[in-house]
Structure 1
Amino acid sequence: MDKQRIHETNGIYWDTRGNEFLKAIVLPQYGAFVSEEKHQLFGDVTGLKMLEIGCGNGQSLQYHGERQAAELWGVDISEKQLEKAAQRLAAGCGLEAVLLCSPMEEECGIPASYFDIVYSIYAIGWTTDLEGTFARIASYLRTDGVFIFSWSHPIHRCIVQDDGQYVFRKSYFDEKWHPVSPDYVQGELILADRKLSDYINALAKAGFVIEQMIEESDGDILQMSDDSDDLAGRAAMFPVTFVLKARKL
């Protein structure tokens, strides 16, 4: 695995293509068919110091700013996305955030033992060093601070539709890095598919205790979906998104 190549390839993608088309992966959505409105993992954020890992164009930061978070911080690999985030926050409701351009795995000047909540909406899976990233996140949090993140469910990544049936296209245990080209936009990304146990064990090693895991699809959102939506059909059969909430000991 060439970390520099992965960072460069993925950074170019987000710089040139952006993530504005990814409507379901900014709060109040954790990803496809899972919402904060239903699960209330954050609760009241009034007066809290919050850091987003992989903040993209700032929509989730804005969500918390509008709910009276005291401080907003964000880190992202794409300078272009951070520019969009700053513009969105200023134009939307006069919010400000400390925005840092860096891979999430690397030291970038984020203060230690400072934040009440660190969160990541569909970004944590891009890390090239899961254990190292979780250790860094633990260092950013005060004792008893909360870490919430969502990502594509590993089972979802393994299954394809074939002649009206869902079948495994690859092994659940295959964690090799590979190029992916999303169907809905041109460009290339490099990604590895991890097991749920990788995330859980990395959290434990970094000193977190898991408080809640969500992998069920929201039935109310499913009912509002178009019958021809393949993703909704998948979400009715198996999880496509998972969310973990953990607390620093």
Structure 2
Amino acid sequence: MEKQSLNRIHVIGAREFDSAATDGMDKNKVHQTNSSYWDTQGNDFLGAIVLPLYGSYISEEKCQLFGDVSGKKVLEIGCGNGESLQYQGERNASELWGIDLSAKQIEKASQHLTSCGLSAKLICSPMEEACGIPEDYFDFVYSIYAIGWTTDLEGTFRRIASYLKEDGVFIFSWSHPIHKCVVAESDRLVFKKCYFDESWYSVSLDEAVLTLSDRKLSTYVNALARAGFVIEQMIEESDEAIIQSQDNDATHKAKMLPLTFVVKARKL
């Protein structure tokens, strides 16, 4: 992976770029700010956050969380440019659906999937809002490094539960909250942020701005439980084989603490 892409992954992780805390969170303003970034420069973010990669140093090829998706209906939350949907389509999923905040990413996904000979139903909408996605319909709902953008985690998880059939599976990945708190300084790892701080903040990147919130693992776990999910598996350890195959500034950190976490949950 190019170092530039790694730096962009890290801005969703530890605060290694210029950032400023916000006094409050206006949902519409957050949507406008983040969709503007993805409409203009966000495509450069993609690389390590499309299947079979769940993010830094964790892969579906090793974890096998999906298993066989042949004949299954799948929905991606935060589908980006469509490469993860391509991955599912090439594994014979019967229906591909995607939702994304960015109209430009939806356009890119449509073009990309068409060029691959695949069709998908793509919707431009915030994940928190009703947008015509059918309920009790999908075998899998998944999200690769997108759930953390939501302004309403519990509401989003409830919507996702409503989209799934009974016993359906929800898989998502995001930057690990410990990764959010620790930065590399020379040959040391240093805490720069309180783990319990879930306030929203703005990050300057590539002459653009993103707005994010860092949530504790317990926040995700409890929100899943309240939405009617049971967690079947959680992965946070980096894949040693991927670490060994790369030579960059992040590998030392990845050996010491988790950079990404992945959750597989099932609708009760």
Q: Scaled by the length of structure 2, what TM-score is found?
A: 0.90
Contact 1:31 1:152 in 2 (8 A): yes
Quote the offset at 1:21 in angstroms. 4.2
Secondary structure of the residue that 1:199 maps to in structure 2? helix
Q: How many residues align?
A: 244
Of 158, 163, 173, the residue aligned with 2:196 is 173
Partner of 2:142: 119
Partner of 1:231: 250
Instruction: State how far apart, in whole Å, the 2-side matches of 1:79 and 1:144 are.
Output: 32
Q: What does 1:1-249 align with in structure 2 at a 5 Å threshold?
A: 1-92=25-116, 94-182=117-205, 185-226=206-247, 229-249=248-268
1:210-240 deviations in whole A, cap 9, x for unaligned? 00000000000011111xx111111111000
Secondary structure of the residue that 2:122 maps to in structure 1? strand
Q: Percent identity among equivalent residues?
A: 68
Contact 1:20 1:57 in 2 (8 A): no
Structure 2 unmatched ranges of 5 or more: 1-24
Instruction: State how far apart, in whole Å, the 2-side matches of 1:186 and 1:43 are.
Output: 41
1:13-66 deviations in whole A, cap 9, x for unaligned? 000013244210000000000000000000000000000000000000000001
Instruction: State how far apart, in whole Å, the 1-side matches of 2:53 and 2:133 are.
Output: 26
RMSD between aligned alpha carbons?
A: 0.9
Quote the offset at 1:188 in angstroms. 1.1
Structure 1 unmatched ranges of 5 or more: none
Instruction: State how far apart, in whole Å, the 2-side matches of 1:48 and 1:163 are.
Output: 47
Instruction: State how far apart, in whole Å, the 1-side matches of 2:262 and 2:43 are.
Output: 20
Instruction: State how far apart, in whole Å, the 2-side matches of 1:186 and 1:90 are.
Output: 32
Instruction: State how far apart, in whole Å, the 2-side matches of 1:181 and 1:165 are.
Output: 25
Instruction: State how far apart, in whole Å, the 1-side matches of 2:43 and 2:75 are.
Output: 19
Secondary structure of the residue that 1:188 maps to in structure 2? strand
Partner of 2:4: none
**Superposed structure 1 runs of 4+ greater than 6 Å apart:** none
Instruction: State how far apart, in whole Å, the 1-side matches of 2:150 and 2:121 are.
Output: 21
Partner of 2:16: none
Quote the offset at 1:77 in angstroms. 0.3
Amino acid at match of 1:33: Y
Instruction: State how far apart, in whole Å, the 2-side matches of 1:193 and 1:181 are.
Output: 16
